[in-house]
Structure 1
Amino acid sequence: MEALNLIESFIQTAETGSFSAAARRLGLTPAAVSKNVARLEAHLGVRLFHRSTRKLTMTPGGEQLWGDAGVPFASLQDAFSRASQHGGKPSGVLKVGMAVAFGREYLVPLLGEFLERYPDIVPDWHFDNHAVDLIAGGFDVAIGAGIELTQGIVAREIARPCTIVAASPAYMKDRPLPAHPSDLAELDGIARRSSSTGRLRAWTMRNQVGEEALAECRIRMIFDDPEAMAHAAMQGLGIAFLPTPHAAPWLESGQLMRLLPGWHAEISPLTLYYPNRKLLPAKTRVFIDFVVEAFRERRLAARFDAR
């Protein structure tokens, strides 16, 4: 097993590009990972990485070993995972990344049913509005939109949400309803700042016949979180451009009303992301299938599509 530990430290370092990232995945210290790689190098008589204070890069020997050992090692891990299942049932800690409000609203309510079906799986769910690094963070699955696809990552689309314009009935009580995106210029707006770029989001809206129009409003306040925007809109502080997963509960309760019902703005699909492995661990496979099934049976994909 010692040789497997050394190989695993090497492979995780090769995949993540650093001892620190590999250590986070393995639950070790960076020094321990570095020591394991050094012991493997000594055993093979080959330097696997060029080390500097700023960068870690693989040598040709390291590239060759990664190419030769990566897939077989993943298969071996899968074999260990299957062998360790309790009575053939999926088991183990399942690390999943998701956005805070989305996870709380749509995934936590599914948890009881999932645990009843798979009692030997321990959910380790991480709620973060920033995209997680699937590989470096050691995640089994991530759920989100617009996550960059890097080598070794598979994406499975589960819904196609869009952005709509919403406001509270109280805010719109004495105001004329807009008939065109250009009419929004007369209304106070809760603008959204991109958490990744720091820029204000600009929205181009589209109707069912394919017409497009720039949507602008009087900026009254600026948030970087759509859930906070929805709550501010419910207080009657202005209109908000909201992704449908964040708007749907409040539209259905009547606390928000949709403006310009024939118009929407396109956003990235809602997607399951997971490592590309020939044989997924059973715990990962059943979770992916469970979420896809739940979205279909509860018609969440249709609920999010407001086109």
Structure 2
Amino acid sequence: MESLANLESFMRSAELGGFSAAARRLALTPAAVSRNVAMLERNLGTRLFQRSTRRLTLTEAGERFLSEIRDHVGALQAAIAGASSESAEPAGVLKVSMSPHFGTGYILPLLPEFIARYPLIRPDWSFENRQVDLIAEGYDTAIGGGFELTPGAVARVLAPAHIVLVASPAYMRDRPMPAHPADLANLDGIHMRSSNTGRIRQWVMRNTGGDEVPVVLREKMVLNDPAAIAHAASLGLGVAMIAMPDALSYMESGTLVRLLPDWYADIGPISIYYASKTLLPAKTRVFIDFVVEHFRKERLAERFAGSLGASNTPKRK
């Protein structure tokens, strides 16, 4: 009977396109993965991969073999992981990536309770505005939005990511409140420059009736960080379009008020990402469950929903 190590090495190499990526996922050396695959090919008496200096490509026999074993090996991995996690206390280094403002505002405060519950887990968290490669960089999870899913990766939705218009009460004091996106043209805009493209972000707002209107604001200043934009708006420097998670604490304190509460821009969900449902380490599983439960208890999905309009917007005094 073929060993599970050989089958896992073959599956991961096929999914990730190389021995090195498979080795990182399996916590082995590339040489060990290559050796396992070669042993599998020798035992089967057929070549499963066409090898080149840049990438592995499945042969016809390899594609057929992968399709036949994938579900069975996955079920076996899940059974082994479930059995081993029953008795093992979650432990080890937990490597997580998240954006600085969202991470420090909503995830970092969970750490005292999480560590008290799971004292053998050691957090190794990175606060960064970029999309990480979970497998290549060895992250257990990442929290954010807009990630491109690699083969085998999973995204579990936590909340919507809605962009809303905000300004300080001081800035709006002597100005008429806009009633429609067309009324924004005479207001000063605090614009955001994309760190990925270098371009100024352009937003299209929508309402619950399905209408869509491009946002036009005077370009008073351009910043490249959502937290800085929210802070600049709170200083009375103009109108900003920022995500509800970045705006919420300012709105709840009254430092910022929401303009056009029936309008918002949707940039997709905030999710927690992890590499695979199979063989998920106990440390990763309990962290995911902990974060999901916190979002449920605090109703963060509802509070982050700009589509709820004025119902979750503090009234202007």
Relative to the length of structure 1, the TM-score reads 0.81
Distance 1:62 1:127, change over 3 A: farther
Matches within 5 A, 1:116-127: 116-127=116-127
Aligned-pair distance for 1:264? Answer: 1.7
Distance 1:209 1:280 in 2: 42
Aligned pairs for 1:55-204 (under 5 A) are 55-85=55-85, 87-149=87-149, 151-204=151-204
Change in 2 beyond 3 A, CA 1:32/1:78: same
Structure 2: how far apart are the matches of 1:72 and 1:126?
35
Residue type of the alignment partner of 2:46: V
**Partners of 1:243 and 1:226 in 2: how far apart?**
8
Which shows bigger deviation, 164-173 or 214-223? 164-173
| Aligned length in residues | 306
CA offsets, 1:4-33, max 9 Å, x none?
A: 544443332222112332233344554554
Is the alpha carbon distance of 1:25 and 1:232 closer, same or farther for their aligned partners in structure 2, counting shifts above 3 Å?
Answer: farther
Cα distance change of structure 1 residues 223 and 65 upon mapping to structure 2, 3 Å threshold? farther
Q: Distance in 1 between matches of 2:51 and 2:213?
A: 53
SS in 1 for 2:245: helix
Return the alpha-carbon distance in structure 2 between the equivalents of residues 15 and 125 of structure 1. Answer: 27
Question: What is aligned with 1:239?
Answer: 239
1:219 Cα deviation (Å)?
1.8
Distance 1:68 1:144 in 2: 34
Residue matched to 2:313? none
- For 2:62, the aligned partner's letter is G
> 1:86, 1:150 → 2: CA distance?
29
Query: What is the aligned partner in structure 1 of residue 271 from structure 2?
Result: 271
CA RMSD in angstroms, aligned pairs only: 3.2
Q: Secondary structure at the match of 1:269?
A: strand
The letter of the residue matching 1:268 is G
Preserved CA contact (<8 Å) 2:142 2:273: yes
Shift of 1:221: 3.1
Is the Cα–Cα contact under 8 Å of residues 77 and 279 in structure 2 kept in the other structure? no
Q: 1:222 & 1:44 partners in 2: Cα distance?
A: 61
Moved more, 123-132 or 2-11: 2-11
What's the CA shift for 1:137? 4.6
- Aligned mates of 1:70, 1:252 — CA distance in 2: 49
Correspondence 1:26-37 to 2 at 5 A:
26-30=26-30, 33-37=33-37
Distance 1:65 1:95, change over 3 A: farther
Residue 45 of structure 1 deviates from its aligned partner by 4.0
- Taking the aligned partners of 2:222 and 2:19, their CA distance within structure 1 comes to 39
Give distance in 2, aligned partners of 1:95 and 1:15: 22
* % same residue: 57
Whole-angstrom distance in 1 between the partners of 2:211 and 2:142: 34
Deviation of residue 198 (structure 1)?
4.5
Rounded to whole Å, the distance in 1 between the matches of 2:32 and 2:179 is 63
Deviations 1:46-102 (CA, angstroms, capped at 9, x unpaired): 333222233321222332443344444444444444454484544444444332321
Letter in 2 for 1:145: G
Q: Distance in 2 between matches of 1:73 and 1:139?
A: 23
Matched, 1:295 2:298: no
* Aligned residue in 2 for 1:260: 260
Unaligned 5+ residue runs, structure 1? none
CA contact under 8 A between 1:75 and 1:279: conserved in structure 2? no
The answer on whether the counterparts of 2:14 and 2:58 sit within 8 Å (CA) in structure 1 is yes
SS at match of 1:14: helix
Report the CA distance between 1:272 and its aligned residue: 3.0
Q: Distance in 1 between matches of 2:237 and 2:27?
A: 46
Q: Mark the CA change 1:220 to 1:39 in structure 2 (over 3 Å): closer, same or farther.
A: farther
Residue 216 (structure 1) shift: 0.9
Q: Secondary structure at the match of 1:267?
A: strand
